[in-house]
Amino acid sequence: MAGQPISAHWGVEDPAAVDGDDEARRKAFFQAFNRLQHRIQLFLGLPLAKLDRVALTQRLKEIGGS
């Protein structure tokens, strides 16, 4: 897929902003990590060679909502 790069923003809640004890902060970091890991795994599973720019952009948006 040559041409302009495609980007996606997969925001997650800032685990460093969590108020609470160490356990609450640990849980927040664990949840953020798991959410990003899941999205990355979905991305790596995409058939990139078979997707055109529009389809890839849509798939990235779908992954961001997962």
The pTM assigned to this predicted structure is: 0.83
Put residue 58 in one of left, alpha, beta given phi > 0 → left and psi -120 to 50 → alpha.
alpha
d(CA 25, CA 60): 28
- Please give the structure tokens belonging to residue 18: 């969590």
> What digits encode the pLDDT tens for the residues 8-59?
999 999 999 999 999 999 999 999 999 999 999 999 999 999 999 999 999 9
d(CA 40, CA 14): 18
